[in-house]
Amino acid sequence: MSEDGGRLVLAATPMGDVGDASQRLRDALATAEVIAAEDTRRTRSLAKALDITITGRVVSFYDHVETARIPQLLDEIEAGHTVLLVTDAGMPSVSDPGYRMVAACVERDLPITCLPGPSAVTTALALSGLPMERFCFDGFAPRKSGQRREWFRTLTTEPRAVVFFEAPHRLADCLADATAVLGGDRRAAVCRELTKTYEEVVRGTLAELADWAVTGARGEITVVLAGAAPRSADPAGLVDEVEALVATGIRLKDACAQISADTGASRRELYDAVLAARTD
């Protein structure tokens, strides 16, 4: 039993290089009464690689058993035990099991702490070479092309860098959809196998990355998409954008309203600018 009472401990695990394991993670693996692991075999392999003997009970904690396991783990914490929650790589709860367990502990007012460490999101951002003072994380890109293109449309004017995960066999189609919706000049970086032997970061425009991905990419993929460049609020400079929307079947009035909402330009002045351009 823990001397300081029961608690949930979320621990980041190495993405590839076991040398990234913190001393706090090593201590927790050796002393926790219960280890809830996304993959029990990988957790035992990690402990072996770190030359650590696990003394607690190891239970599986992956998507399909997460809900059923939570009541048992809550009971363990209330009994005064430390429950260590780890996933295959990186930080629990970030596109991995964990947040439901955290929410359940919050609801019961049980202690929670976190052992920080490796994260594919922040590692990819740091390596991307793109402006990242502000960023957002969007999990995995939608699997189907139609849904994916609709998702990319929501990022057309997103000023923050966007980080997302993608499966290697869908990467080429994903980047092709991004190019079609966002334009080939938008910059991005594809990071694969971060911290592993064959780590690779490919930087360029979406068009360049889409061409590169056609040959195939393997491993764990994290994509960083540059934020959209600030758009002009000058009505005359937005005429082409309005006309592009009109060409898709949108009424001129509605197209002006949409561009106005995106840029802050006056809707009335946009409308007048389009009419003036058409009479020139």
Residue-by-residue pLDDT tens, the chain, 280 positions: 344 589 999 999 999 999 999 999 999 999 999 999 999 999 999 999 999 999 999 999 999 999 999 999 999 999 999 999 999 999 999 888 899 999 999 999 999 999 999 999 999 999 999 999 999 999 999 999 999 999 999 999 899 999 999 999 999 999 999 999 999 999 999 999 999 999 999 999 999 999 999 998 999 999 999 999 877 678 888 998 899 889 889 899 999 998 888 778 889 999 999 999 998 7
Q: What is the pLDDT of residue 244?
A: 87
Q: What is the pLDDT of residue 4?
A: 59
Burial code (b: 16+ CB inside 10 Å, e: under 16) for 207-237 equals bbbbbbbeeebeebbbbbbbbbeebebebee
Its sign, for the CA torsion 171, 176, 181, 184, is: positive
Q: What is the pLDDT of residue 2?
A: 42
Q: Give the gyration radius of the chain's Cα atoms.
A: 24
Taking the C-alpha atoms of residue 34 and residue 134, their distance in angstroms, rounded to an integer, is 37
Tokens 């970061």, residue located: 201
CATH of segment(s) 7-118: 3.40.1010.10
Q: What is the pLDDT of residue 129?
A: 96
E-strand ranges in the chain read: 7-11, 34-37, 57-60, 82-86, 112-115, 135-140, 161-166, 187-192, 200-205, 221-225
Tell me the sheet residues that pair with 58. Answer: 35
Taking the C-alpha atoms of residue 91 and residue 96, their distance in angstroms, rounded to an integer, is 8
Taking the C-alpha atoms of residue 251 and residue 245, their distance in angstroms, rounded to an integer, is 8
CB 162 within 8 A of CB 224: yes
- State how beta strands 187-192 and 200-205 pair: antiparallel
Domain ranges of the chain: 7-118, 121-225, 235-279
Q: What is the pTM of this model?
A: 0.80
Q: What is the pLDDT of residue 9?
A: 98
- Phi then psi dihedrals of residue 197, to 5 deg: -55, -40
CATH of segment(s) 121-225: 3.30.950.10
Reduced DSSP (H G I as helix, E B as strand, rest coil) percent helix, strand, coil of the chain, to 5? 45, 20, 35
